[in-house]
Amino acid sequence: MTHEFLQNYWWLIMSVLGALLVFLLFVQGGQSMLINTKAKKRSLLINSLGRKWELTYTTLVTFGGAFFASFPLFYSTSFGGAYWLWILILFSFVIQAIAYEYRTKHGNVYGTRFYDTLLLINGVVGPVLLGVAVAGMFFGAEFTVGKGKILDAAIISQWGPQHGLEAIASWKNLLFGFMVFFLARTLASLYFINNINDKDVQKSQHKLLLFNALVFVVLFLATCAVILTSAGVDIDKGGTAMWKPYKYLDNYMQLWWALGALLFGVVMVLFGIGKTLMKKEWKCGIWWAGIGTVLVVMSLFWVLGYNHTAYYPSLLDVQSSLTLANSSSSEFTLRVMSYVSLLVPFVLAYIAYVWYKMDHTKLTEKEIKQAGEDEIY
Amino acid sequence: MSDLLMNVVDWSRAQFALTACYHWLFVPLTLGLGIIIGVMETIYYRTRDEKWLATTKFWMTLFGVNFAIGVATGIILEFEFGTNWSNYSWFVGDIFGAPLAIEGILAFFMESTFIAVMFFGWKKVSPKFHLAATWLTALGASISALWILVANAWMQYPTGMTFNPETMRNEMTDFWAVALSPMALNKVFHTVTSAWALSGAFVVGVCGWMLLKGRNRDHCMRSLKVGGWVGLIGIVLTSISGDTSAVTVAKHQPMKLAAMEGLYEGEPGQSIVAFGILNPAKEVGNGEDPFLFDISIPHGLAFLATHDFNAFVPGIEDILLGKSKDTTSFMTKPLSFEDRRERGKAAQHALAGFNDAVKAKDSVAMKQFRKEIDENFKYLGYTYLEEPTESVPNVPLTFYSFHFMVTIGGYLVLFFIVVLLLLYKPKWVPGKKKLQKFGYWLAIITIPLAYLCSMSGWIVAEVGRQPWTIQDLMPNKVAISDLSAGYVQVTFWIFAVVFTALLIADVSIICKQISKKSKTNLDVVETKK
């Protein structure tokens, strides 16, 4: 295994983790629907999501940890630079973690409404800002990197004074962010339809699905158009970086398997949504749309990092742009972690098994009523 | 470094300390209570005695409340390495990131998957599967602790790596040297077992309160048996690993050991301070007595640090001046602060030369500079320090925290022995109501003492290694991100307010749950029809 192979392998792992994270954002999408929902139905939705929230959370943490381990220069540059963006994302997840557990507990001090509001905030802020952060990898950010500065006690990654606020203000990034948000809401409706056995919830979620899916499709098409017409940073054989028009479109043309994953994923997502809307009794849409989402997101990661592309372009100094080659861990570290990554299929297998065991019988109002105080959120 | 930059360093340190302290308030209870619940459920599984199920569920409720806030406060820590310590993230990310990633893949998914079964799976999976889920959740928490402590230990004792001048960072060369370094093994063992002790104290304390109120005596007896034993085993193992930790610290972080003991000038057969009040007027090199008052045990520190009663233990001034009165093989060739700084500057100079040689494609010069870098790199961090005193940690904070930790640790050994003796020999205090009441109150008071003891341990570990983010290689003022002090100040206060609000809710819920459930019959499992 060469260093280059390991870098590509770890980018593949990152794409899998990133794709699973986007799929699991259905938890946040569901939380964003809690507003204007009656207490009983809200309880059903929250208890349905409450048994999955930790998976999303854990995937986010693992995604961060794996990025740190495999591409530490990105971790160093983006997190330290886009400070406000990442801090806001983190805050939104901090408040989520306790909200589920505390919302109905006696003595929770601030009342159930307060914790539901926290869930709502995480449901909106989380997906939008995570989308903004990923969009920055396509459209670039204002930073420079000089590894040698550390010798003079200076900081290797320098950013503009806004430290991530400028990324939130960028329309392209926001377009991407809201696309992710509406995808999360669409997936949430499909998840509720699959997971909750309640006529009222099914009915309301079918209605919401139609609206959210329509908005998502429009935003997705717009985002694709922007990405495919955008310039990216190409790295030549000598390692020199330069801006290249239509770089991502070009990557799709050259990487047929990435294009195949994109198209196949899109078809699966549309099929999952379409059939759910047309056949009310069909409840497997979440799996079709979920797997489709994973394929689409992976393909986006692939055109972002493969084919001699800088996956984090610098708008200030193109030579500072981050690539798989200049930002990765050493060959030794990547190899060690590759052995660990062999456990990932095993981890996915036990998650799937537990998910199956827990969701074998669908959630009902009766189950919530009969559950002990500690078995419900 | 400018004053402004120093401010960023201070605020970044304050923020990390704040978030780490809050996180550590909840982690030990998760680690230990997970084990305690696992034992209780195992007894239920083997006996099918519903009383044990009821007891298991009682503690599981408290576990869940505590677990959630532990998770919430933990996410910040991982990402803070990037947000506030970006130089650090690159300089050692090749080594430090790997344990974090492994922690995520191996531990976090295990915890997050099986905790759902633990709480919501009673009616959905078989008792055997449920028991497995409970143990896997506890195991996941312990594996998580293992990897993050391996990472922390590496910062205190960097090993298994080499510096690559081409990438300007440290790169891992020996994974097992990182994962199984003596510092890592001691830290993992000491920290995890201390968490068992804290959780044992928590269980005993809660039971003490219930017994004081005269509620659910049988439930309390069941809980005390498990909590008392886990606590005793925990604190005994903590004491043993504390001893080996001291030897490791003496070997690899002598300055930290000197600060722990308030030792400025060491002697062969150095005594240990059992109790002491530091002299506030004492400064490095001013000749003042370090103590206003102290009670010392002859040869104690020499034995603690080296397992040799007559060994020389260097003090702060010895280390700075490179003095040794060693008559054995311990610390044979000490380097003074100035010597270290010179060696560090030689490494810095060679690095600059190496970069020029790379540009000139001069392979002979590159090889020569590389050799110089390898010889001197381990002192690179000293080039960033301006005064020798910069390499001295906060002595009073380290000293008092260490002595508090040891005192309470000793008290906990006695406490758990007495708890178990009284549990198995209740006739020893027959009818002596006042004595019983005193015991219950003591159990309650022991909860905060155990928490303070645990927190003190971390203060010793982290304050005692200042100014280093990575021992001898990178002081914290070089490890930071390109941020203004104002930005970090704002987020510090946001964290302070949010985490305090969450802590208030957490404590309130736990107290309410204990109070409410103690009024129900905890010998039967509540069922709704």
Contact check, Cβ <8 Å, A87/B109: no
Contacts of B180 in chain A (CB under 8 A): none
Contact check, Cβ <8 Å, A54/B76: no
Here the tokens at position A210 are: 């139609």
Residue B97: closest CA among chain A residues belongs to which residue?
A69
Domain boundaries, chain A: 3-375
Q: Examine the pLDDT at B528 and tell me if it is beyond 70.
A: no
Contact check, Cβ <8 Å, B90/A340: no
Q: Examine the pLDDT at B292 and tell me if it is beyond 90.
A: yes
Q: Examine the pLDDT at A255 and tell me if it is beyond 90.
A: yes
Q: Given this model, what pLDDT does residue B206 score?
A: 97
* CA dist., res. B196 & res. B34, Å (int): 9
**Lowest mean pLDDT across A7-11, A67-71, A366-370, B86-90:** A366-370
Mean pLDDT across B367-393: 94
Q: What is the pLDDT of residues A49-95, one digit of tens each?
A: 998 998 999 999 999 989 999 999 999 999 989 999 999 999 999 99
Tell me how many residue pairs between chain A and chain B have CB atoms under 8 A apart: 284
Burial B151-179 (b: 16+ CB within 10 A, else e): bbbbbbbbbbbebebebbbbbbbebeebb
Q: Examine the pLDDT at B6 and tell me if it is beyond 90.
A: no
Contact check, Cβ <8 Å, A75/B93: yes
% of chain A at pLDDT higher than 90: 77
Under a CB-based contact definition with an 8 Å cutoff, are residues A276 and A285 in contact?
Answer: yes
Under a CB-based contact definition with an 8 Å cutoff, are residues B369 and B357 in contact?
Answer: yes
Q: Examine the pLDDT at B201 and tell me if it is beyond 80.
A: yes
User: Which of B116, B119, B167 is facing A374, going by the closest CB pair?
Assistant: B119
Q: What is the pLDDT of residues B451-470, one digit of tens each?
A: 999 999 999 999 999 999 99
> Is the peptide bond between B127 and the residue preceding it cis, with omega within 30 degrees of 0?
no
Q: Examine the pLDDT at B276 and tell me if it is beyond 60.
A: yes
Q: Examine the pLDDT at B193 and tell me if it is beyond 80.
A: yes
User: Which of A69, A101, A150 is facing B87, going by the closest CB pair?
Assistant: A150
User: Which of B491, B505, B526 is facing A110, going by the closest CB pair?
Assistant: B505
Q: Examine the pLDDT at A233 and tell me if it is beyond 50.
A: yes
Contact check, Cβ <8 Å, B94/A72: yes
* CA dist., res. A271 & res. B111, Å (int): 34
User: Which of B71, B93, B526 is facing A76, going by the closest CB pair?
Assistant: B93
Contacts of B173 in chain A (CB under 8 A): 332
Among A297, A322, A325, A298, smallest CA distance to A310 is for A322
The residue that leads in pLDDT, B2 or B255, is B255
> Where are any strands of DSSP class E within A132-276?
143-145, 157-159, 232-235, 241-244
Contacts of B164 in chain A (CB under 8 A): 330
Contacts of B94 in chain A (CB under 8 A): 72, 329-330, 333
| 3-class DSSP assignment, residue A161 | coil
Under a CB-based contact definition with an 8 Å cutoff, are residues A287 and A272 in contact?
Answer: yes
Q: Which of B76, B83, B359 to mutate to test the interface with A (most CBs of A within 10 A)?
A: B83
Q: Examine the pLDDT at B332 and tell me if it is beyond 60.
A: no
Contact check, Cβ <8 Å, B76/A94: yes
Contacts of A360 in chain B (CB under 8 A): 124
Under a CB-based contact definition with an 8 Å cutoff, are residues A159 and A142 in contact?
Answer: yes
Cα dihedral sign for B152, B411, B256, B310? negative
Contact check, Cβ <8 Å, B67/A101: yes
Q: Given this model, what pLDDT does residue B136 score?
A: 96
Q: Count the alpha carbons within 13 Å of A311 in the hemisphere toward its beta carbon.
A: 29
Q: Given this model, what pLDDT does residue B1 score?
A: 45
Our CA-based measurement puts residue B286 at a distance from the nearest CA of chain A, in whole angstroms, of 31
Q: Examine the pLDDT at B33 and tell me if it is beyond 70.
A: yes
Q: Examine the pLDDT at B432 and tell me if it is beyond 90.
A: no
Here the tokens at position B278 are: 């530091």
Q: Examine the pLDDT at A339 and tell me if it is beyond 80.
A: yes
Our CA-based measurement puts residue A92 at a distance from the nearest CA of chain B, in whole angstroms, of 10
Q: Which of B482, B513, B516 to mutate to test the interface with A (most CBs of A within 10 A)?
A: B482
Q: Given this model, what pLDDT does residue A369 score?
A: 81
Among A51, A26, A119, A114, smallest CA distance to A367 is for A51
Q: Give the containing element (helix H, strand E) for B474.
A: strand B474-475
* CA dist., res. B480 & res. A65, Å (int): 19
Contacts of B76 in chain A (CB under 8 A): 90, 94
How high is the mean pLDDT of chain B?
Answer: 92
Q: Which of B55, B62, B85, B90 to mutate to test the interface with A (most CBs of A within 10 A)?
A: B90
Does B390 reach chain A within 8 Å, measured CB to CB? no
Contact check, Cβ <8 Å, B526/A372: yes
Q: Examine the pLDDT at A104 and tell me if it is beyond 60.
A: yes
Mean pLDDT across B28-45: 97
Residue B355: closest CA among chain A residues belongs to which residue?
A148
Q: Given this model, what pLDDT does residue B326 score?
A: 73
Q: Examine the pLDDT at B317 and tell me if it is beyond 90.
A: yes
Q: Examine the pLDDT at B3 and tell me if it is beyond 80.
A: no
Please give the single-letter amino acid code of residue A337.
Answer: M
Residues 6 or more apart whose Cβ sits within 8 Å of residue A371: B528
Mean pLDDT across B393-412: 97
The residue that leads in pLDDT, A51 or B410, is B410
Q: What is the pLDDT of residues B109-153, one digit of tens each?
A: 899 899 989 988 888 899 999 999 999 999 999 999 999 999 999
* CA dist., res. A220 & res. A177, Å (int): 10
Mean pLDDT across B22-42: 96
Under a CB-based contact definition with an 8 Å cutoff, are residues A47 and B69 in contact?
Answer: no
Contact check, Cβ <8 Å, B78/A65: yes
Cα dihedral sign for A149, A154, A160, A163? positive
Q: Examine the pLDDT at B414 and tell me if it is beyond 70.
A: yes
Q: What is the pLDDT of residues B349-373, one digit of tens each?
A: 999 999 899 989 999 999 999 999 9
Q: What is the pLDDT of residues B241-272, one digit of tens each?
A: 999 999 999 999 999 999 999 999 999 999 99
Q: Which residues of chain B from 499 to 518 reach within 8 Å of chain A, CB to CB?
A: 501-502, 504-506, 508-509, 511-513, 516
Residue B113: closest CA among chain A residues belongs to which residue?
A351
Q: Which residues of chain B from 327 to 386 reach within 8 Å of chain A, CB to CB?
A: 348, 351-352, 355, 384
Contacts of B498 in chain A (CB under 8 A): 91, 94-95
Please give the single-letter amino acid code of residue A115.
Answer: Y
Q: Given this model, what pLDDT does residue B99 score?
A: 87
User: Which of A55, A108, A156 is facing B505, going by the closest CB pair?
Assistant: A108
- B468-470 and B474-475: which strand pairing? antiparallel
Q: Given this model, what pLDDT does residue B434 score?
A: 82
Q: Given this model, what pLDDT does residue B329 score?
A: 54
Contact check, Cβ <8 Å, A347/B105: yes
Q: Examine the pLDDT at A230 and tell me if it is beyond 70.
A: yes
Q: Examine the pLDDT at A154 and tell me if it is beyond 90.
A: no
User: Which of A78, A156, A347 is facing B87, going by the closest CB pair?
Assistant: A156
Q: Given this model, what pLDDT does residue B2 score?
A: 47
Q: Given this model, what pLDDT does residue A306 score?
A: 97
Among B73, B60, B58, smallest CA distance to B27 is for B73
